[in-house]
Structures are given as C-alpha cells and as structure tokens.
Amino acid sequence: MDRRVNDLNHGYLKEETKQKVRKSFFHSDFPAILLNDFFDQGFYTELKKKILSLNFKRDAVILHHSYAISSYKITSKEFCDFISFITKKKIDEITFSAYLLTWKDYMILNDKYLQKPGIDVIIDLTDNWNAELGGVVTFTDGKGTVYPITPTENSLAIVERKKNLQKYIQYINHYAKDKKRLLLIASI
Amino acid sequence: MKINNWLNPQNFSAEKIKRYQAAFSSNKPFPYLELANFIKPEKIIALLQALNEQEFSPKQADLFQFLQTSDLLYSDDPVLKEFIALFSSPELIALMHDVTNLKLNGKIDLFASIYQDTDFLLPHDDQLPGRKIAFMLYLNDLDEKDGGALAFYETKNKTPTKISKRIIPKAGTLVFFEVSPLSFHTVEEVVIDTQRITLSGWFYG
C-alpha cells in the first residue's frame, strides 16, 4: 500500500481520540467499536480499488456459506499501530479475507465452523449499502442476543469475540440486484 | 373424528395408497410425497380464516426470516383444533405409516408460517430427536417466478451438493418427507409482494 500524508482519518490519530476509543472498546458490555469515516478518503478509494482488482474465487459450502473470496494484506503502519493501540496486541500487518457477496449469498452458523475466541477486525468497503438488503455482519451469543454491525462505507469495526460469540452474514435478498457487498474481515 | 370431512376420500383408496408407498420410497433425492388436493377446498378457506385470527411473530436468524405462529397445539380455535385432531387421529397416523413405513407415536407439532417478500429458509435437515416425518400443507398458490419453492438437495457423503427437486406451493397440496441425515431442504426466497401461507410440523415416533 502506498503511503499518503495520512492513511487514517486524521481525527483518529489524535491521542485523545485513541484513548477514548480504547476505553469504549474495553468497557462496553459487548466489546465492540464501529468507527465511521475511518480511512483518509484517498487511502480508502485506493484500498477499495485494489480489493476490487483481486482475483475473487466463488466458494460455496451450502451449510455454511456462499460468497466469493480472496485475501489482502494491509501493512500500513498507521493502521497497524492504531489496531495495536486499541486492542493492546502487537500488530505489524494484518491479512484479511476479502469477501464479495451478491444476491443469495450468506454466511451462517455451523458447528463445524466454530470460531475460537479472538478479536475481529472488519473493514466495510461497500458504498451506499442498505441493511434491508441483508448482508449485515451480525454477532450472536447463541441465546437469542444479536449484535448487528451497521453497514457503513469506510468504517472499521473491532469486535472482541468472547467464548460463545459467533458471527454470521445475513442472506442477501433480491433487492440487492447487481449490488456487491465488499468486506475485509480478519481475526487477530 | 371423521377424516372424510376434511380429506378427499377418492385420494385414499387401497390402490392409491400402494402407489403412494411406491412413490414415497422411490422419490429422489430422499423419500418424500407430494399429494395434490389433499384437503377439501372449503377446508382451505376455513383454515385461512382461522389463521387470520392468529398472531404471527417475525422470526429472524442466520438461517431464516419469516412470520410464524406459536405452537398451534394450544390454539382455542375450533377449526385449528379439528385440524390438529385430524393430524393426530389414528386414521391419519395409520395412513402416514402405511405410506412411509415409519413408526409413529401420534405426537405432532404444528405451526403456521407466512413467507413474504425477501423471506427465506436456508438449507438444513430438520433433524431433532423424535422427528420422523416433516409435513407442510400449502394454503395458497405461488408461481414459479414468485420464489418460495420448497427445494430438496442431493447429497454426497451426507453433505448437500445441489438442488434436484423444487415444489411450487399450491393450495391444498400436502408435502411430507422422511427426516433423516439426507433430508436437506430449503425454502427459496420469496421475490414478489405476496404471501406464502403454510401449516407445517412434524410427526414424531
């Protein structure tokens, strides 16, 4: 990734903001944060362009998922330092799964695909996505409590997946037409 | 309980039951039967009127999105009570046994569901302890282009691979299949502004 003046929205680089975000992340009942306008606009546009140029491969395991997938490594120091600061984990690079979902795609819960506890980092690269189309990344504790991550372009979500917390991506319905849902998700 | 009040008797002659047995066991991708005109048209209307008085709640999870009643076994509605008596009756249980050769104990579950625009049920096999036969009675018609088809999957090593059978809802049709490790099915998304209304449940054994 080419370096710019800033990779992140400069507001998120301020010490005071970072402290607030970290406090919010660690002190909520559901340890999660959603940061809008996260990347600098130029970085975001370039990142999205690079992701769209990846070689996506269709993958369907009927009882778990249907989507196109690729991978992408972000090495931006600003980005990795920010994630390190918030999560208190040393991060030098993050390899993301890049997901491209369209009508009829989904990722559902399946005992054979249980995720170990960890921290999920989710970058939303979908412009103008309406939650009514489905495709919402949703966390659930398996007891009926769900935590949907509001789809927002150029947003970063960090979610601590404690024991029994799993995630799924809602089925995308026919109103999506030709729209594409583009997400980067990594577990650290 | 006189089952002939509800059912078309000509559909249940000894000869027809033999045909149903053969069809059920040979149907692919897993044993199922589709019985058109299972109940009399006036009973479909009575059931729709009864369901109009029931409360439907939205059900939404990773696997599904639709409206559903609570378990209708506890309903006070006289028409629904009669329907439950029909489906729990020794005559109907014997009929299901004759067709499927599965041992049933007379216990059933019964729910009504409404699938509207964008509603769906993703692939699963219905397996839970005691469930022997899944059934669904369609109470209205849909076209192929409307979505809402019940679709069955072929399997390889007990894993669903592709859809090989689609059933388009038609009022009065009863569909039932053996619940097994192979009974993977889905309800495809409804893609128009309509309602797909069914009574469905399981026979236990």
Q: What ipTM does the predicted assembly reach? A: 0.94
Shortest CB distance from A63 goes to which of B118, B123, B147? B123
Tally of CA atoms within 13 A in the half-sphere of A147 that contains its CB: 19
Domain B25-204, CATH class in plain words: mainly beta
pTM, entire model: 0.94
Q: Report DSSP state, residue B2.
A: -
Walking along chain B (205 residues) 10 residues at a time, the average pLDDT comes out as: 81 92 98 96 97 97 97 95 95 96 96 98 97 98 98 96 98 98 98 98 97
Q: Does A171 touch chain B (CB under 8 A)?
A: yes
Identify all chain B residues contacting A140, using CB atoms and an 8 Å cutoff. Answer: 61-62
Q: Count of CB atoms within 10 A of residue B94's CB?
A: 11
The C-alpha of B172 sits at a distance from chain A's nearest C-alpha, in angstroms, of: 28
Do B122 and A106 count as a contact with CB atoms less than 8 A apart?
yes
Across A40-86, where does the E strand assignment appear? 57-61, 65-74
Q: How buried is residue A162: exposed, middle or buried, by Cβ count under 10 Å (0-12/13-18/19+)?
A: exposed
Domains and CATH numbers, chain A: 10-187 (2.60.120.620)
Identify all chain B residues contacting A148, using CB atoms and an 8 Å cutoff. Answer: none
Do A108 and B63 count as a contact with CB atoms less than 8 A apart?
yes
Do B63 and A63 count as a contact with CB atoms less than 8 A apart?
no
Instruction: Tell me what percent of the residues of chain A surpass a pLDDT of 70.
Output: 98
Query: Token pair for residue A46?
Result: 């370039």
Confidence at A142, pLDDT banded by 50, 70, 90: confident
Which residues lie closer than 8 Å to B111 by C-beta, 6 or more apart? B68, B69, B70, B71, B72, B199, B200, B201
